Amino acid sequence: MDVFMQEAIREAEKGLEEGGIPIGAVLVYDGQIIGRGHNRRIQNGSTILHGEMDALENAGRLSASIYKNCTLYTTLSPCPMCSGAISLYGIPRVIVGENENFVGEEELLRSRGVTLDVINDEKCIEMMKKFIRENPILWNEDIGE
Strand 32-38 and strand 24-29: pairing? antiparallel
**Contact 86/104 with Cβ under 8 angstroms?**
no
Catalytic residue selected from 7, 11, 52, 141: 52
Nearest in space to 94 (alpha carbons), one of 71, 70, 76, 75: 71
CA 135 to chain centre: 19
Sign of the C-alpha dihedral computed for residues 58, 64, 65 and 68 taken in this order: positive
Per-residue pLDDT of the chain (145 residues; tens, 9 = 90+): 699 999 999 999 999 999 999 999 999 999 999 999 999 999 999 999 999 999 999 999 999 999 999 999 999 999 999 999 999 999 999 999 999 999 999 999 999 999 999 999 999 999 999 999 999 988 887 776 6
What is the three-class DSSP state of 27? strand
Alpha carbon distance 121, 119 (integer Å): 6
Residue 52 annotated as catalytic: yes
Rg of the chain, C-alpha, whole Å: 14
